[in-house]
Amino acid sequence: MTARLTAVPRLPAVVALALLLAGCGIRATEVPTNFGPAPSRVQCSLSEPDVSTQAARGLPVQVFLLCGSALVTVDRTVRVPDGAADSERRVLVAQGLLDQLATPPSAAEKEAGYSTDVRDGITVGGPRPGDPEDTLRLSTAPAGLTSYALAQIVCTFSDSAAAEGDGSVVLGGPGTGAPRRYECTDEVRARPGSAEPPSKAVAGE
């Protein structure tokens, strides 16, 4: 009987505490809140070297593929005959890079999230009379490419022996239009779908 009488005075304190919490907007709950699993993110990296891309011997190069919404580099090789003149070598390297960009990613690369927007069949040639000597003319006009494909090509070329190595490349199309100098910027690498490579007109020789 004594134990029961001592427990009664505690009830008003419990009720008061509950009212105080309610007044502060705090709701007690015993049900755990489930926000779901954390969103998965594409790693854009291979767990081990891709043997298929290293099988062919040639000039080591890097090409820019798409992964998620950004451009990332992967290792490739292109074949360039020994003894080729500088102008010829530039075109041969550029064509090899285009072919690599147009090649579907390997199974391991696809699993890692890589893709390409460059379509097969694009060819590249050297400058026409009146073009700057480092001009590369594509069989498809740069303006006719998707923003992703143009970003892939510009960033791949500008970071290779196909260009002067200053982060830019002079590109033209198959028509008579003047070529333009395109730049591969950090913004282009981060958002190739919405940030097209900036370009400017170049003067011929």
**What percentage of the chain reaches a pLDDT higher than 70?**
72
pLDDT digits (tens, 9 = 90+) for 108-138: 999 999 999 999 999 999 999 999 999 999 9
State pLDDT tens for residues 69-110. Answer: 899 999 999 988 877 778 899 999 999 999 999 999 999 999
- Residue 61 has phi, psi (to 5 degrees) of -140, 170
Distance, in Å, from the CA atom of 49 to the CA atom of 70, rounded to the nearest integer, reads 21
Residue 160 and residue 61 in contact, taking contact as beta carbons nearer than 8 Å: yes
List pLDDT tens digits, range 141-175: 999 999 999 999 999 999 898 998 788 999 999 98
DSSP E strands: which ranges in 68-196? 70-78, 114-115, 124-125, 135-138, 168-172, 180-183
* Tokens read off for 115: 């893709």
Are the C-beta atoms of residues 66 and 116 closer than 8 Å to each other?
Answer: yes
- Give pLDDT, residue 57: 66
Confidence of residue 9 (pLDDT cuts 50, 70, 90): very low
